[in-house]
Amino acid sequence: MSTLLARAPGVSAVRRAARANQLITAGTLIVAVIVVVAVFAPLLAPYPADAGTATHPEIALQAPSLRHLFGTDQVGRDVFSRVLYGARVSPVIAFFVLLIACAIGVPLGVAAGYFGGVTDEIIMRVTDVFLAFPALLLSLAFVAVLTPSLTSLTIAIAIAWWPWYTRLIRGQAASVAGRPYVEACRTLGIPRWRILLRHVLPNSMTPLVVQVSLDAGGVILTISALSFLGLGAQDPVPEWGLMVAEGENYFTTQWWLVTYPGLAILVTALAFTLLGDGLRDTLDPRRLPVR
């Protein structure tokens, strides 16, 4: 998504920077809240055991009350506690997904961009093949043939996501590789890997950081979508998408089972998207690849 620091000088630019700051602030704030909730869940949740295997069937399907802020689910677990603990699931998985995706995608992108030629062609074609599938579909296909679990979910989504970073980094690496000072480094005999590490990589960081924060929201949506389909987290893991799936049949009579976990997904994805938007607006005024 390309950005818009307009060439109109002066006031506009300041306004944009200010708004970008608002976005970053808003996004960071919500992300910080999510992180705090995730870290302090055992203290914040009134019934921490409900996020695990504890069940209380006698109080199943109770409406929200003072004792259970978000009501109880079909086996009597406190929905509020589970939603809080959910912050430890999707965001953490998203973190690992992006970590793995970068670990695979960035080196490949650097190699493609820097070395060019045949290496570039091969890597780019492979990237094209993976990118021929929407991420949700490819991860769905992988998880469906593996045994559904959090691990296979993480791997499956990472497999679908790495090509975006390869493409991104390749562009950056290619443009850096052509610069005169890099040529100078080469004639000076500096080894290739050093050049890659000290010149190519740092310059690619900025757009990567922006892209990763923009993607975090998408990854979280993918995680919850796959769990909703039964392919990700399994009960009793308090994953928000799974909670929506479990509450689906009771939705018209016990609306709280679906509403709160879904809101959590929305707020979390929103936070990362806002953060990503803000970062993009401030850090990288140039066009980014279409996403």
Partner 1 sequence: MKRCRAGLIAVGAVLVSSLAACGGSASSGSSQPGQAASEVFTYDTTTAVMVDGWDPATEYSDGVIAMSEMYETLTHYNSATGAIEPELATSWTAADGGKTWTFHLRHGVYFHTGRPMTAQAAKAAILRTIKLAGGASYIWAAVKTIDTPDPYTLVFHLSYASPIALEASADYSAYIYDTQAAGGGNALTNWLNAGHDAGTGPYTVQTWNKNQEFEVILKSFPRYWGGWTGTHFSKVVFRVVPQDTTAAQLLRSGQVSFIEQINSPLWSSFKGDSAIATVSSPSWQNLLAQLNSKRLSVTVRQAILYAIDYNGIIAALHGAGVASSGIVPPGLLGHFSDLPNYPYDQAKAAALLRQAGYGPGGKALNLSLTYTSGDSNEQVVATIIKSDLAALHVNLSVQALAWPTQWAKGKSSSAAQRQDIFLEYWWPDYADPYSWFANTLETENPPYFNLSYYSNPALDAMINQVEPLVATDKSAAEALYRSMQVTILQQAPMVSLYNVNYQYAMLSGISGFQVNPAYPNVVFVYDLKT
Partner 2 sequence: MTRYTIRRVALAIVVVAGVVILTFVIADLVPGDPAVAWAGPHASAAQLARARQYLGLDQPLPVRIGKYFGGILTGNWGTSIHTHQPVLSDIGTAAPATLELVVAALIIAVVVGVPLGLAAARWPGSILDHAIRVIAVLGVSMPIFWLALILQLVFAQRLRVLPVAGQYDPNLIFTHPLVTRTQMPVVDALLSGNWAVLGSSLRHLVLPAVVVAAYPVGVIARMTRAQVLDTLGETHVQMLRSLGFPERTVIGRFSMKLAWNPVAAVLALVFAYSLVNSFLVESIFDWPGLGSYATASVETLDTPAIVGVTLFIGLVYVAANLIVDLVQAALDPRIRLR
Residue 273 interacts, among partner 2, partner 1, none and using kind-specific CB cut-offs from 5 to 8 Å, with partner 2
Question: Is the bond preceding residue 236 a cis peptide, omega within 30 degrees?
Answer: yes
Q: Are 3 and 20 in contact (CB under 8 A)?
A: no
Site string for partner 2, 211-230 (x = CB under 8 A): ------x---x--xx--xxx
Q: Does 258 bind partner 2 (CB under 8 A)?
A: yes
Q: In whole angstroms, give the CA distance from residue 111 to residue 127.
A: 13
Residue 225 interacts, among partner 1, partner 2, none and using kind-specific CB cut-offs from 5 to 8 Å, with partner 2
Q: With 0-12 CB in 10 A as exposed, 13-18 as middle and 19+ as buried, what is 57?
A: exposed
Taking CB under 8 A as the criterion, the residue among 43, 58, 180, 290 binding partner 1 is: 58
Amino acid type, 166:
T
What residues contact residue 122 under an 8 Å CB cut-off, 6+ apart? Answer: none
What residues contact residue 66 under an 8 Å CB cut-off, 6+ apart? Answer: none
Q: Does 162 bind partner 2 (CB under 8 A)?
A: no
- Binding-site ranges for partner 1 (CB under 8 A): 52-58, 60-61, 74-76, 230, 234-236, 246, 248-254
- Binding-site ranges for partner 2 (CB under 8 A): 1-4, 6-8, 12, 15, 19, 125-126, 128-130, 132-134, 136-138, 140-142, 144-147, 217, 221, 224-225, 228-231, 241, 244-245, 248, 251-252, 255, 258-259, 262, 265-266, 269-270, 272-274, 277, 290-291
